[in-house]
Amino acid sequence: MSLSLLRYLFQRVVIFFFRRLVKLQYNTTASPDDITYIPSRDPHRSIKTHVYRPSKQDTTRTPSPIPSPTPVLINFVGCGYVLPLHGMSDSFCREISHRTNHIVLDVEYRLAPENPFPAQLHDAEDVIRWVKTQPSIYDVSHISLSGFSSGGNLALATASSFPNDALQLHSVIAFYPPTELYLDPKTLVPPEIGGSPASPFVYDLFFGCWLPDRLDRRDPRISPGLANAESFPEKVMIITTGYDPLAAEGERLAGKLRADPKRQMAWERIGGCDHGWDVIAKPGYPGWEMRCKVYDMVVDMLQS
């Protein structure tokens, strides 16, 4: 039995137990307005996508007409590229759709180790291509991407590497994304002491499942922090957190993009918060106020 096969079997066993824990700990039940299945480049498969449509009625003010075709935000959940967490972005997608008159598409991209890189990038590209074939529904001149954690990595990588020069993204929004996957996880240090940062073992395991050894982790499609600044959309938002070992690399990318005076670059470090804090924040509890502030920033960028 080859060493690579043994490693794959080890990954499958360990990830199996991580996935069981996720099912016990997190509720991923979502309530989208619809579910659509977008054609994949791979025969006989499709990409499950939750659809959130703008609210037609706002009781606090005079209703405004929903534009048609409608601006679209394509979202990628955070899952370390291995955990079945599609649905965890439900409240974000619903809120942003209602507040911005965007259709939000929450994409269930493929997971590793069963589907290593570049399967996820292909899914993201296929969704964008499909959206562009629906100009009567979606405003193809106003397509934005967003993502959380691994989904933030995917949003940034897709935005900076999409092979069609005709694609003009409105914006890309990334929450606490890993952007330099070539770094040794043991060297990653949060900017603030405290919280519950993930261990180097977890990063090694998750990213090792996603990235086979033969891959060059300095590929900008894997480490978008190395992509040319000019390859990103004009509008970019990166959110980092104080207790997150991934914060520094996200902030380096933000700094590189802010150096371009023509770019609308929004960056915020949320002090005293862990990676993924906004997903579990509740009204009246720590982190909720900062969640509201950051989601306001998202609304402002999408409407700018």
CATH number of the domain residue 84 falls in: 3.40.50.1820
The pLDDT of 239-254, averaged and rounded, is 98
Residue 62 lies in a domain: no
Distance of CA 196 to CAs 63, 103, 177, Å? Answer: 43, 34, 17
Percent of the chain's residues with pLDDT above 70 = 94
Q: What are phi and psi of 138, to 5 degrees?
A: -110, 140
What span, in angstroms and rounded, lies between the C-alpha atoms of 55 and 66? 8
Number of H helices, E strands in the chain: 8, 8
Per-residue pLDDT at 84 exceeds 70: yes
The domain total for the chain is: 1
| pLDDT at 274 > cutoff 80 | yes
The verdict on residue 171 lying in a domain is yes
User: How high is the pLDDT of residue 56?
Assistant: 59
pLDDT of residue 3: 66
Backbone φ and ψ of 100, nearest 5°: -120, 0
Residue 165 has pLDDT above 70, yes or no: no
> How does strand 34-39 pair with strand 46-52?
antiparallel
Q: How far apart are CA 204 and CA 210, in angstroms?
A: 10
Can you tell me the distance from the alpha carbon of 114 to that of 125, in angstroms, rounded to the nearest whole number? Answer: 19
Cβ–Cβ < 8 Å for 131, 143:
yes
Model pLDDT, residue 180: 98
Q: What is the mean pLDDT of the chain?
A: 93
Residue type, 246: L
- Bigger pLDDT: 235 vs 286: 235
- State yes or no: pLDDT of 69 exceeds 50: yes
Is 61 within the bounds of a domain?
Answer: no
Mean local confidence (pLDDT), 125-142 = 96
Determine if the pTM surpasses 0.85.
Answer: yes
In a domain, 60, yes or no: no
Domain range for 242 is 3-55+67-303
Rounded mean pLDDT of 188-208? 96
CA pair distance 85, 78, nearest whole angstrom: 7
Give the pLDDT score at 88: 96
- Within a domain: 162: yes
Q: pLDDT at position 58, please?
A: 46
57 is written with which tokens? 């009625």
Provide mean pLDDT across the span 276-302.
95
pLDDT computed for residue 166 by the predictor: 64
Q: 18-32, 187-201, 213-227 — which is least confidently predicted?
A: 18-32
Q: Please determine, for residue 158, whether its predicted confidence score (pLDDT) is greater than 50.
A: yes
Residue 82 resides in a domain: yes
Q: Is the pLDDT of residue 78 over 60?
A: yes
Look at residue 164 in the predicted model and tell me its pLDDT: 62
The one-character DSSP state at 230 is: G
Indicate the residue type of 185: P
Q: How far apart are CA 9 and CA 113, in angstroms?
A: 9
Return the minimum-mean-pLDDT range out of 52-66, 171-185, 223-237, 282-296. 52-66
- Residue 267, beta-bridge partner list: 238
